[in-house]
Amino acid sequence: VISETTSTTMTTLNTDKVTSFVNKQWDESIIPLLCDYIKIPSQSPDYDPEWETNGLQEEVVDLMMDWVKKQNVPGLKYEIVKLPHRTPLIFCEIESNAKDKENAPTIVLYAHYDKQPPLEGWSEGLGPYKPVIKEGPYAGKWLYGRAGADDGYGLPASLTALRALHEQGVEHGRVVVMIEGCEESGSKDLPFYMDHLKDRIGTPDLLVCLDSGAGNYDTMWMTTSLRGVMAFPMTVSLLKDGVHSGGGSGIAADSFRVVRQLLDRLEDSSTGIMIDEFQVDIPQERIEQTSATAKVLGETSHTQLPFRSGVKPVTNDLTELLLNNTWRPTLTITGADGLPAVKNAGNVLRSSTTVKLSIRLPPSLDSTAAEKKVRELLTTNVPYGAQVTLPEHFHIANGWAAKPLKKWTSQAYEQAAQAFFGQSAQYMGEGGTIPFLGLLQKKFPQTQMCVTGLLGPASNAHGVDEGFPIEYSKKLTACISFILAEHFRNCRE
């Protein structure tokens, strides 16, 4: 453990004291907060048509703000910013504690408080709005419940990392905290807030985002890329009403078959490979990094998924599996309408079929251009002249690919991981999407981004039995504290 060093390559920070402070905060303050947060049955706007009137978003924000007020962070200003018909934004500013605070660099700490839908099928004793602490599959005790790690912990972990520096009088830059309420719906409100608050945000030198994942729970994992996303419903209709299948089949095409034909225009169903227009050249550095990650993770690259007995992954090549998940486009059908429950399904040729498509896009692909291509493919020369209905606006978001790390950044990551995990930091791409990163990188191309998180094996983000390991969360919070201190020290050199 690094302790009270004055080396020119280390920050003056007692890591034993950081660990002690962070652990105490998690046990006495953060865990109780997250338990109360999990209990609130709020959902992101795309999944809750009554979000503006049912008060659940406000309940979450008020809970978080009450916690913030009790932290006694020196130089802290906080408020709930609310633009008309936009989800509330928690916005905090913490002045630098340096002697020359006027010229201190700006750090943005980002997270979100909105949640995915609850889903059915949680294990006995668990539930989306029922916080439960019990032994987990890895790394000790886990806290179960919807959104604890995605991303309810982000705000308290960020402020706790900052407070750990104040406890030792270690200097840090000016800090801006932004906690949005629309990330799970594509962060469509965030650009409006960024514009509204641009003078107060300033130009960040460093962004810390705690909404990503981890390859395992042995060390700190830094995210190097995230895929983009395109999600939308498609309805295929051939008949005005459903008819007896004995009288209609063979004369009118089945709407589900037409759906299958249209999907084949996007993806080869025998391989899962999508059209060339959605492919990108994967940087050689990322291929090499992914190969190294595959060696670290081994078979857990796929065994972390709840495969049924006898089911295999799409390939046995572990590097290719990870590249598929992080740099290649994929199509998933996430929902369907027009199909009755099996017990209610009579011999009827249905009038229409609706499917919800979720397409993950490579990090460097333009999602707007991809949407244009999808609309063309799904609405041109449709078999049998079937009617295809698409929404006016798709849910789209660009991916993100990290720029090369500055020397101090890679050194700080390694030192933090060694100090609190006793192992080297690891790097990996993620298959999900954080729209904010693409927005910020476009607006502030020089900003260094520190992207990490708790969502590792068995965390089941967005799914049933969602949870996270508490001890890992403590160590990750301590790492962020170290990185914040190193950032300021290197900006001063």
**Whole-angstrom Cα distance, residue 128 to residue 464?**
7
Residue 186 makes CB contacts below 8 A (sequence gap 6+) with: 46, 229, 395, 396, 397, 435
Q: Which residues of 375-396 are buried (b: 16+ CB within 10 A; e: fewer)?
A: eeebeeeeeeebebebeeebbb
Alpha helices by DSSP H, listed for 392-469, are 407-420, 435-443
**Whole-angstrom Cα distance, residue 60 to residue 78?**
16
- Angle at 158 (CA atoms; ends 152, 160), nearest 5 degrees: 105
Question: Residues 63, 78: contact at Cβ < 8 Å?
Answer: no
**Whole-angstrom Cα distance, residue 223 to residue 451?**
5
**Alpha-carbon Rg of the chain, whole angstroms?**
24
Give, for 93, the enclosing helix (H) or strand (E): strand 89-94
Question: In one letter, which amino acid is 53?
Answer: T
**Whole-angstrom Cα distance, residue 63 to residue 113?**
11
337 beta partners: 354
The pLDDT value given to residue 493: 65
**Whole-angstrom Cα distance, residue 472 to residue 357?**
34
**Whole-angstrom Cα distance, residue 140 to residue 473?**
11
Stated pTM of the model: 0.89
* C-alpha torsion sign, points 287, 417, 465, 45: negative
Question: Residues 105, 173: contact at Cβ < 8 Å?
Answer: yes
Q: Which residues of 339-362 are buried (b: 16+ CB within 10 A; e: fewer)?
A: eeeeeeeeeebbebbbbebebbbb
φ and ψ at 322, to 5 degrees? -70, -35
**Whole-angstrom Cα distance, residue 61 to residue 447?**
28
**Whole-angstrom Cα distance, residue 336 to residue 357?**
9
pLDDT string in tens for the chain (493-residue length): 333 333 334 458 999 999 999 999 999 999 999 999 999 999 999 999 999 999 999 999 999 999 999 998 999 999 999 999 999 999 999 999 998 888 899 999 999 999 999 999 999 999 999 999 999 998 899 999 999 999 999 999 999 999 999 999 999 999 999 999 999 998 999 999 999 999 999 999 999 999 999 999 999 999 999 999 999 999 999 999 999 999 999 999 999 999 999 999 999 999 999 999 999 999 999 999 999 999 999 999 999 898 999 999 999 999 999 999 999 999 999 999 999 999 999 999 999 999 999 999 999 999 999 999 999 999 999 999 999 999 999 999 999 999 989 999 999 999 999 999 999 999 999 999 998 898 888 889 999 999 999 999 999 999 999 999 999 999 999 999 999 999 999 887 6
The pLDDT value given to residue 10: 45
